Structure 1
Amino acid sequence: MPDDTILPHDDKILLERDGVRLVLDGTGTVATITLCNPAKRNVQSPALWEALIEAGRLLPGQVRVAVLRAEGPSFSAGLDRQAFTPEGFDGGPSFLELGRGSEADLDATIATYQQAFTWWRRTDLITVAAVQGHAIGAGFQLALACDLRVCADDVQFAMRETGLGLVPDLTGTKPLAELVGYSRALEICVTGRYVQAEEAERTGLANLVVPAADLDAAVADLAAALLAPPRDAVNETKALLRTALSHTESEQFAAERAAQTRRLRSLAGAAE
């Protein structure tokens, strides 16, 4: 992926820290969050997660599409292994030190980390991950946090946490199981094998696979298509689909009726 630090004149940088850059386009409707530490394959750390949380908080209300992308040949190689050294990260404890703390403190810390992966599911915008090269562990889970994934044909997803004696804990287990099914999700997580482009598209992990050189253009085309319908209809539809698998039929049918009632009353009011 190219380095896009040279921005169109009407784009605005809202955040740049700890390997994360947030840019608002000139229309104010599309935000791009870029992982910008390609020299280290965009490895992740608590500082990067804090920056992602801040990016979510800084999104202006008019943003309708948030694109997550990464500089360099890899989307994200996962957790920075420095987390498992005795020294840990500057300004924070190592994961080994965290493991020696109380269960309550450890639960609270992991919950904080998860916030970097949860805001992408908000119903007031649609989030799109543009994924190339390696998306491993935390990188895989960050791609799964988004509503849609457009992948380059060199993409390689993998969950490697189990091999380290850990579990995927950054909110990735639910979307993975929903997308590919329990059995395949279990096999992917326990074996740690790579899921490449053809399988990703066939199993629903990828909405679209394109040549790596076309990734940015494909994401731009998708963003334009997502912006075409009225915003309220898009938000209501996303909210309905988010609950479709967890609701009973009667609950979901009632939710559809309520959403359509709001839309029809809104349209009738606008027509007066």
Structure 2
Amino acid sequence: MTAHESTETLGNAAANGAQDGAGGESEVLLTTDADGVRTLTFNRPKAYNSLTVELKERLLTALREAAEDDSVRAVVLTGAGKAFCAGQDLKEHVATLRSGTENPLATVAEHYNPIVTALVDLPKPVIAAVNGSAAGAGAALAYACDLRIASSSATFAMAFAGVGLGPDSGASWTLQRLVGAGRAVELMMLGRKVDSEEALRLGLVGEVVPDDELAARSHAVATRLAAGPTRAYAKIKSTVARAAECSLAEALAAEAAAQTELGGTADHREAVEAFVEKRRPQFTGK
């Protein structure tokens, strides 16, 4: 699949909506590969891509597969139709709650926590292409990605308090790192909707583009990252995460260890040789 085909497929899914994945009518998660980029598309547009057990399990598997696949050097996460992800599918949640046979919130430990861990620990760049509403766990999944590019119609909402719950899916950890603790608490308690321009001002996203340019722009950024030093990106992710929780001395030690490891990579040697030869480096991710 060419880059044009990949962005065209993603754009059509976002603009027109694929079949709703409910009831087994189609895949609840679409996967496309192009230019070293794997695009994962939530595919329940009629349900605003809300998260069922099936979709959560498929997403977790897909993230783990992307982490292990050497041909995948960047990941884009997006949604089909008019929403990125509305969070937990409340119809499924209510049905489980009413049945009384199991704890509906067991999904936090069984699904949401492993998904967020897989996103944060994925040793490759992950971009959230937020094409519409991102609410509750849906917003939290976007916050767990490394980069966020939003369409002009995108919105974000921490909807947990509105259903009598606290944050999950790592939102207590990720959101305050993006906007600060005070603002994070405000957004969680009030649960108000944040539009794309405010999201840009607050630092929730790094870029806002017109709706019809989101697919192409996200793929372009992902393609650039996919052609870069993948192992260095993995160390950037891990050292920044560690530095947020440790002392300066520990952060310095982690940086030194990372540099020692990266100094022995083929990509580092290639970059140095390219600099000396005054040419652009050709990174292989190794």
> How many pairs does the alignment contain?
248
Q: Which amino acid aligns with 2:73?
A: R
Distance 1:131 1:109 in 2: 24
For residue 150 of structure 2, give the secondary structure of its aligned residue in structure 1: strand
Asked which structure has the greater RCO (Cα within 8 Å, sep 6+), the reply is: 2
Alpha-carbon distance change, 216 to 234 in structure 1, aligned in 2, over 3 angstroms: same
Q: Match of 1:151, SS? A: strand
Q: Which residue of 2 aligns with 1:32?
A: 39
1:231, CA displacement in angstroms?
Answer: 2.1
For residue 174 of structure 1, report the CA deviation from its aligned partner.
Answer: 0.7
Partner of 2:164: 165
Shift in Å at residue 186 of structure 1?
Answer: 0.6
Alignment of 1:149-228 (within 5 A): 149-228=148-227
By how many angstroms is 1:190 displaced? Answer: 0.7
Would you say the 8 A contact 1:18–1:47 is kept in 2? no
What is the aligned partner in structure 2 of residue 117 from structure 1?
116
User: What is the CA-CA distance between 1:158 and the residue it aligns to?
Assistant: 0.4
Query: Aligned equivalents of 2:156 and 2:106: distance in 1?
Result: 28
Q: Is the 8 A contact 2:49 2:86 kept in 1?
A: yes
- Secondary structure at the aligned position of 2:142 is classed as helix
> Per the alignment, in what secondary structure is the counterpart of residue 3 of structure 1?
helix
Match of 1:95 among 87, 97, 108: 97
Letter in 2 for 1:178: R
Which structure has more helix as a fraction of its residues? 2
Contact kept, 8 Å, 1:18 with 1:51, in 2: the verdict is no
Deviates more, 1:258-267 or 1:178-187: 258-267
Structure-1 separation of matches of 2:214 and 2:39: 14
The answer for unaligned runs of 5 or more in structure 2 is 1-10, 15-24, 273-286
CA displacement at 1:216 relative to structure 2: 0.8
| Identity value in percent | 34
Residue type of the alignment partner of 2:247: T
Question: Who is 1:83 aligned against?
Answer: 92
Tell me the secondary structure at the aligned position of residue 72 of structure 1: coil
Q: TM-score, normalised by structure 1?
A: 0.82
In structure 2, the CA distance between the partners of 1:71 and 1:269, relative to structure 1 (3 Å rule), is closer
Q: Does 1:128 align with 2:135?
A: no
CA distance in 2, matches of 1:146, 1:122: 10
Q: State how far apart, in whole Å, the 2-side matches of 1:232 and 1:58 are.
A: 17
Partner of 1:233: 232
CA RMSD for the aligned pairs? 2.5
Contact 1:133 1:156 in 2 (8 A): yes
Instruction: Assess if the C-alpha contact under 8 Å between 1:17 and 1:51 holds in 2.
Output: no
Q: Is the 8 A contact 2:29 2:42 kept in 1?
A: yes
Question: What is the rounded CA distance, in whole Å, between the counterparts of 1:110 and 1:127 in structure 2?
Answer: 22
C-alpha spacing 1:261/1:154, structure 2 compared with 1 (3 Å): same
State the SS of the aligned residue for 1:67. Answer: strand
Q: Point out the more displaced range, 76-85 or 181-190.
A: 76-85
Q: CA deviation at 1:107?
A: 7.5
